[in-house]
Amino acid sequence: MVLDTQEIMKLLPHRYPFLLVDRIVELEEGKRIVGIKNVTINEPFFQGHFPGHPVMPGVLIIEAMAQVGGVFAILSDKIGNDMVTYFAGIDNARFRKPVGPGDTLRFELELSACKRGLYCFSGKAYVGDALVAEADLKATFAPRKAS
């Protein structure tokens, strides 16, 4: 299964500048998902992180990883637009190498558990074959509050 940005925006509520996944390139239902983020010099965070030495903030790499996990959960359990995703935990986060303009991040997440609506993922981020970040993520869904 391949999803482009337009299809991802039908699933996730995130929008520019906070939509951090461009494409889903693999989905093994109930097991794993692979997503892509193309990092460009036009990313708004590069203005201040860091001038003259652009580095993608680690927290945004983790957020992008989590968005890929959100797509997995929404597609796997057919979660509707009346629900919103909440981070429930981040463990064992490690940042191995800096990510900068021109890099293509590949996120590989494996579902390690899903109990009572709590999704647990083991995630890794790569640029080429190099592991740049990894984390264990937990997320859940709750009804969206009426506005």
The DSSP call for residue 4 is -
3-state secondary structure of 55: coil
**Does residue 121 contact residue 80 with C-beta atoms inside 8 Å?**
no
Q: Is residue 49 annotated as part of the catalytic site, yes or no?
A: yes
Residue 92 CB contacts under 8 Å (≥ 6 apart), including other chains = 134, 135, 136
Classify residue 97 by its DSSP letter.
S
Q: For residues 8 and 33, is the Cβ–Cβ distance under 8 A?
A: no
Q: Looking at 32, 49, 96, 124, which residue is catalytic? A: 49
Q: How far apart are CA 79 and CA 29, in angstroms?
A: 14
Query: Which residues are catalytic, by number?
Result: 49
